[in-house]
Amino acid sequence: MKRFALALAGLVLIVTVLSAFKTKRSRTLTAAKATYSDTILFPGEKHFKNIQQLTFGGDNAEAYFSYDSKWLIFQRTNPKDGIMCDEMFIGKVPTRPGEKFEYKRVSSGKGRTTCGFFTKDGKHIIYASTHLAADTCPPVPDRKKYGNKYIWPLYDSYDIFMADLDGKIVKQLTRSKGYDAEATLSPDGKKMIYTSVKDGDIDLYIMDLKTGKEKRITNTLGYDGGAWFSPDGKKIIWRASRPKTPEEVKEYKDLLAENLVAPVNMEVFVANADGSNVKQVTNFGNANWAPSYLPDSKRIIFASNHQSKRGYPFNLYTINEDGSNLQKITEEKIFDAFPMFSPDGKKIVFCSNRNNGGTHDTNIFVADWVE
């Protein structure tokens, strides 16, 4: 659930935010199709060149580059293929037009997985999984019980594991009781930042992968998740909710007691890599999430529905750290999210409802980035 991580992910879990709007989307699909045709590139998307759709069908989310920019890891659900909840896959990024994106499963097929990331050596991956609790997919919450509010389950069976590229788990990285997920690694590959409820709230922790020593770096009531290091390793960026009124605090705590969170009001925050000097970047209302830095470690890209009163569309935006120079990057009518730049700075990958033939499918797209 990392980056709307559910990372709103899983952001964990990191299912995509799309599921929040399936019912509403079905009622508006006809109207939406009347205003635009399926396409992989909309007018005005001037920062994308040589865009390519990599997956076709199912819910494909949280696609992230390897350190050498040559591979992607992502999570996928597609009941038509017998994939009943998110499993982890890797595939090599196409290098020429028309080249097919071939991918293979690297999770065990047991339980639910989310938030995959390559290690620095390119020979391993990390991801969160519920497989120690059960081979089957964990149950999804009954949203009718909560007034049909969009909620994420914080499965207490999630722990973070390291595996090789053949899917063999070589190490269990977290063992605390409760939700551990939404992990990414520092540019030098030595540190892991992730989300956990181990101390009673939904907070961020940084772990030294070699020693296992870790530090809690957020301490304010609310959901903190979907964190990334900046490319230069000096800063971190994440999404957070900050309940303030007594009613908001009560709702947040009541849901958390049931291992749930309602990620509908989130803003983007940044801090130094040690968690000091916290600054709120956005103050738009609605859901501003899935943030990460551009290659210059100064500008930020994130997904947001702040321009809509319906809950969607979600589009990608860039903004400066001080909240200035907001620019809209995508023009999708339903959902664009989970952006990541390749470490070499040449490409961007994101997940979208575009070009899905009028279905609910979310697919992965990659493009050359044009300034």
Domain CATH number, residue 283 = 2.120.10.30
Residue 31 has pLDDT above 70, yes or no: no
- The strands making up 191-196's β-sheet, listed across from edge to edge, are 180-185, 191-196, 203-208, 214-216
Q: How many residues does the chain have?
A: 371
Q: What is the pLDDT of residue 37?
A: 63
User: Is residue 10 in a domain?
Assistant: no
Query: What tens digit of pLDDT does each residue of 228-282 get?
Result: 999 999 999 999 999 999 999 999 999 999 999 999 999 999 999 999 999 999 9
What percentage of the chain has pLDDT greater than the value 90? Answer: 87
Average pLDDT (299-307) is 97
pLDDT category at 28 given cuts 50, 70, 90 is very low
Q: Is 343 exposed, middle or buried (0-12, 13-18, 19+ CB in 10 A)?
A: middle
For residue 246, which phi and psi values (nearest 5 degrees)?
-55, -35
Q: What is the pLDDT of residue 16?
A: 39
Average pLDDT value for the chain = 91
**Looking at per-residue confidence, does 149 or 189 come out higher?**
189
Q: Who's near 99: CB < 8 A, 6+ residues apart?
A: none
User: Is residue 59 in a domain?
Assistant: yes
Average pLDDT (219-231) is 98
Q: What is the pLDDT of residue 11?
A: 36
Query: What tens digit of pLDDT does each residue of 324-356 get?
Result: 999 999 999 999 999 999 999 999 999 999 999
Q: What is the pLDDT of residue 113?
A: 98
Q: What is the pLDDT of residue 15?
A: 35
Residue 47 has pLDDT above 50, yes or no: yes
User: Is residue 309 in a domain?
Assistant: yes
Residue 311 has pLDDT above 90, yes or no: no
User: Is residue 43 in a domain?
Assistant: yes
**Looking at per-residue confidence, does 20 or 177 come out higher?**
177
- The strands making up 113-118's β-sheet, listed across from edge to edge, are 113-118, 124-129, 159-164, 169-172
User: Is residue 158 in a domain?
Assistant: yes
User: Is residue 93 in a domain?
Assistant: yes
Residue 13 has pLDDT above 80, yes or no: no
Q: The dihedral of CA 17, 283, 146, 4: what is its sign?
A: positive
| Structural domain harbouring 155 | 17-369
Strand intervals (E) in 33-82:
48-53, 59-65, 71-78
User: Is residue 1 in a domain?
Assistant: no
Q: What is the pLDDT of residue 310?
A: 84
Residue 8 has pLDDT above 60, yes or no: no
User: Is residue 62 in a domain?
Assistant: yes
Report how far Cα 224 is from the mean position of its chain's Cα atoms: 13
| Nearest alpha-carbon partner for 263 in 77, 62, 17, 18 | 17
Number of separate domains in the chain:
1
Residue 174 has pLDDT above 80, yes or no: yes
Q: What is the pLDDT of residue 309?
A: 84
Q: What is the pLDDT of residue 241?
A: 98
Residue 6 has pLDDT above 80, yes or no: no
Residue 115 has pLDDT above 90, yes or no: yes
* Cα–Cα distance, 183 to 199 (Å, whole number): 17
Q: The dihedral of CA 243, 246, 247, 250: what is its sign?
A: positive
Q: What is the pLDDT of residue 10?
A: 37
